Structure 1
Amino acid sequence: DPNDYPDSRHFAAFVGFAPKVTGSGGKVSVGGTRKSGNRILKRVLYMCAISRYGQTKKYDPERTSKVATLIDNEDVSNKRIVCSIANRMARVAWTIAKHGEKFDGKKCRLLEL
């Protein structure tokens, strides 16, 4: 139920794609994704994100999408890119379920091709 989560970030954290944030003494560090979360939903979103990653590499030779710019960046690992796509998909899914809207690809720059 989307009403169980106050916003899309909490839902992404439930699934397991929100980055781990720790801090002490005013210094905040952002780590990798958590190993916890809903295993089935996490696998489904991860496989969809891998598919989206592959589509970008194959069908966007001009590198115009936001995912393509991440792929071209050598400092960002492939797994981090896939997890960021999955995180975005989880947030979009929560928004669609919460507000009952239809999916609009123009609003999601990370998911457009």
Structure 2
Amino acid sequence: MGGGAQRLAPGAPVVLNVQPPAAAEPVPEFPWMSATVGGPAYEGTGSAEPTGPDSVRWRMRYRTRRGDGTVLAETSADYTWWIVTAEGLAAELMAAGIDTAVDEDLVIGMNPRS
């Protein structure tokens, strides 16, 4: 049994999901959140560009707008993201001694100790 499984309580599940994209490909800017609280509206968008065969560079933009649409504040964050598929993550968990099942982008692991 690998070291990873020893850190889970017997019979305890671990539930993980993988973030798209599943391959190093461009992701056009898309809105992933928005909320209006009081008067201002808050929004977040994201886009990604490949940086290698297994990575992308995400750019997340955050804006605060007044009710008439005027931008009051804007900032962005860029970071490198290493791509992992659900199957790849499941293989890593199995190597650590955790039984796994894959359901689309969801990976469910169970400590085999009971």
**TM-score, normalisation: structure 2:** 0.26
**TM-score, normalisation: structure 1:** 0.27
Q: Quick check: which has more Rg, 1 or 2?
A: 2
